[in-house]
Amino acid sequence: MTSKVKTTPEVVKPQQLPRKLPFWRLWLPLLFQAGIIVAAPAQPFYTQLTGKTAILQTVPVDPYDPLRGYSQILSYDISQINNLQQLPGWQELIQHTSEPAVNGIPTGTNLYVTLEAPTSNTTPPPAWKPVRVSRDRPQIATNQVAIKGKLTGNSVTYGLETYYMPEAQRDEINQSIVQAQRDQQQRSLVVEVKVDTQGRAVPISFWVNQRNYRF
């Protein structure tokens, strides 16, 4: 007589569901990305809102940027190394440099140029006078600003070098510039900027003789 062997039925375990991600792990990256997007325009807005007005002397040239429309490339008096070399503080910059350098200072070096307001008030407004350069942000008087720049070889850039013209004003601005150059009134081409306490600057308007064009 054959005996039957009892078998234990196989227990099927329910499939384990994946654990739910914490709420913060989902939203934190999104908030971080949103913060970057918001912060990009926030800094220039803060500078424009809180900064002090200064006037920079500029000499424009006339390139064409097909990606952004018609533009003027602006080169400032304080962009020229030979102008900055004459100011107090330049030798101190060189003395604290041990790396290979152009004009005594390594490319990419940040520096501050202190500008002082003129005593006269005319139209167009006169350019502010550069009075000192320094590696660190200096203490300034109430009639001064300290604008931050970066050495890029044979010149210093301030993030103020390109002015994109409104299409409707392109011809008018060009004619004004040509007329100023023809009359040898290059000093009448100035840019109004706002400079905040950290030395960051944003352009506000562009003067050609008596005419003012807002950025």
**What is the model's pLDDT at position 116?**
97
Give the residue, 92 or 196, on which the prediction is more confident. Answer: 196
Angstrom CA distances, 98 to 6, 33, 39, 102, 105, stand at: 89, 39, 36, 12, 9
**What is the model's pLDDT at position 39?**
46
Angstrom CA distances, 202 to 89, 97, 133, 152, 174, stand at: 25, 29, 20, 19, 22
**What is the model's pLDDT at position 36?**
46
Cα–Cα dist 191/189, whole Å? 7
Spatial CA neighbour of 215 closest among 148, 156, 154, 169: 169
Residue 11 clears pLDDT 60, i.e. is over it: no
Q: Check: CB of residue 200 under 8 Å from CB of residue 45.
A: no
Q: What are the extents of the domains in the chain?
A: 51-214
What DSSP designation does 144 have?
E
Spatial CA neighbour of 117 closest among 143, 146, 88: 143
Burial of 68 (0-12, 13-18, 19+ CB in 10 A): exposed
Spatial CA neighbour of 206 closest among 50, 42, 47, 72: 72
- Radius of gyration for the chain, computed over Cα atoms and rounded to the nearest angstrom: 29
Spatial CA neighbour of 169 closest among 41, 84, 71: 71
Give the model confidence (pLDDT) of 157-215 as tens digits.
999 998 877 777 878 888 888 787 777 666 778 999 999 999 999 999 989 888 898 87
pLDDT band at 91; cut points 50, 70, 90:
confident
Residue 87 clears pLDDT 90, i.e. is over it: yes
**What is the model's pLDDT at position 65?**
55
pTM: 0.76
Spatial CA neighbour of 57 closest among 177, 165, 207: 207
Cα–Cα dist 200/148, whole Å? 6
Give the model confidence (pLDDT) of 104-117 as tens digits.
788 888 999 999 99
Give the residue, 196 or 102, on which the prediction is more confident. Answer: 196
**What is the model's pLDDT at position 5?**
54
**What is the model's pLDDT at position 138?**
96
Give the model confidence (pLDDT) of 14-73 as tens digits.
555 556 656 555 556 655 555 544 444 567 777 878 899 999 998 766 655 555 557 778
